[in-house]
Amino acid sequence: MSSRLRVLSAALALAVTGGLLALSGQAASAAVTGQITGLAGKCIGSAGGNTANGTAIDLYSCVGGATQQWTFPGDGTIRTAGKCLDVASAGTADGTKVQLWDCNGSAAQQWVYSSARDLVNPNANKCLDLAGNSSADFTLAQIWTCTGGANQKWNAPTGSTPPTNPGGFVVTEAQFNQMFPSRNGFYSYSGLVTAMGAYGQFAKTGSDTVRKQEAAAFLANVNHETGGLRYIVEINTANYPHYCDWGQPYGCPAGQAAYYGRGPIQLSWNFNYKAAGDALGIDLLGNPWLVQNDAAVAWKTGLWFWMTSTGAGSMTGHNAMVNGAGFGQTIRTINGSLECNGANPGQVQSRVDAYNRFTQILGVPAGTNLYC
C-alpha cells in the first residue's frame, strides 16, 4: 500500500461534476441496423410498434417489424424509428422504465455493450433488464442492478459496432483486456467508464496522444498497486486495525479495522474514506465496503485521487500528464520518497515498464521524464 494515502486529509475533497459527457465530438463508426435478441431468442422493440415519446420497450417474438430494427451509430446511442433507447427521466432506481424518446444527447440515452453481452446505462450503472426474469411476449424492459442473469444478456446486430467506449474513452474494451489479461472480474471496463462520468476531464484533455498517455499512466500505476488488477483489498490483514485515526472528529463509525486498503489505489485510512466520499457524494466513511463491492465506486476512488490529489508530490497525476511533466511525476505524487530519488528503483521500474507497455498498446510514444 502506498504512503500517500496515509497523509491525505479531508481538505483534499473537491466538488465533482456529474453526468456523462455528450458524444458530439466522437467520430461515429459505420451504422449497422438489426435486431437485438434476448431471452428465448425474442426481440425487443417498441410496444405495439408505436413511436411516440414515452413508448415502452418490450420483448416479443421477432416479427421483423420496423421498431424491432435497432441502429448502433457509434455515438453511444441505440436507435429505432429515428428515436433513442432512453431511461425514463434519467432515472437510476431498479425498475426504472426504458422507453423511446427523441434523441437529445443526454446521459439517459448512453449505453455500453460489454463483452459479457450486458447493455449498461453508465448514468445509472445498471443493466437493460427484462422485468420478472420473464421471456413471455410483451415483458417490459427496465434497468436493474447488473446480476449477470440471462434476462440481462443481449445479442447485438451482426456486424454492428456497439458502443463499448462511450464518451470517446481512448482505451477500448479490447485494449483494456489486453492490458490486464489476468484481472479480477470485479475491475470491469464498464465500471471504469461509468466512474469517468464523475471526472469529465480524465483522458479528455489535450491532443489524442496526450489523452492516451494520461490513460496509460493512470492504468500503469493502478496496475502496480493491484498486481495487474488482481487484488481488490489489502492482502495483509494484520494491518487492518492500523488505519483508524481517532484524532479525527468523526472517528471511525464503521469500526477500528474497517479502513484498510481497497480498490485500484488501495484507498486506506478513515480520513481518506471521508474525503473521497464527500467529493463523490457517497458515504464511504460509514460504508467503506462499497469500495470493494461496487466496481464503479472503486474506480471513482482511483480517479478521485488521480484528478484531485497532489499526494506526496507537487501536482496531480492528471496535471503531470497533460502539462508535460511526464510519467515520473505521477510516481512522485503516488509514492514520493518511498520510491523516488533512488529509494526503490525496482518499484519505479515496475511502473515504468507497465506504462511503456500500455502506451505501445495504445500506439503512442511514452514521452520523456519517465523516472522520478
Residues 6+ apart with CB under 8 A from 69: 33, 34, 35, 80
Residue 3 to residue 369: CA distance in whole angstroms:
22
Computed from CA positions of residues 315, 198, 254, 258, in that sequence, does the dihedral angle turn out positive or negative?
A: negative
- The values of phi and psi at residue 222, to 5°, are -60, -40
Residue 102 to residue 97: CA distance in whole angstroms:
15
Q: What nine digits make up the cell of 175? A: 485494449
C-alpha distances (whole Å) from 117 to each of 38, 152, 157, 163, 289 are 10, 8, 12, 12, 27
Residue 193 to residue 162: CA distance in whole angstroms:
15
DSSP lists the bridge partners of residue 141 as 130
Q: What nine digits make up the cell of 351? A: 511502473
Residues in the chain: 372
Other CB atoms within a 10 A radius of the CB of residue 3 amount to 14
- C-alpha dihedral (150, 156, 162, 164), degrees to nearest 10: 20
Residue 191, helix vs strand vs coil: helix
Given the residues 173, 214, 225, 339, the one annotated as active site: 225
AA letter at 109: Q
Residue 16 to residue 318: CA distance in whole angstroms:
15
Q: What nine digits make up the cell of 370? A: 519517465
DSSP H helical ranges for the chain: 4-7, 173-179, 189-196, 208-226, 270-280, 290-293, 295-308, 317-322, 327-339, 345-362
Is 339 catalytic? The answer is no
AA letter at 205: T
Residue 164 to residue 193: CA distance in whole angstroms:
9
Q: What nine digits make up the cell of 266? A: 488501495
**Residues with active-site annotation:** 225
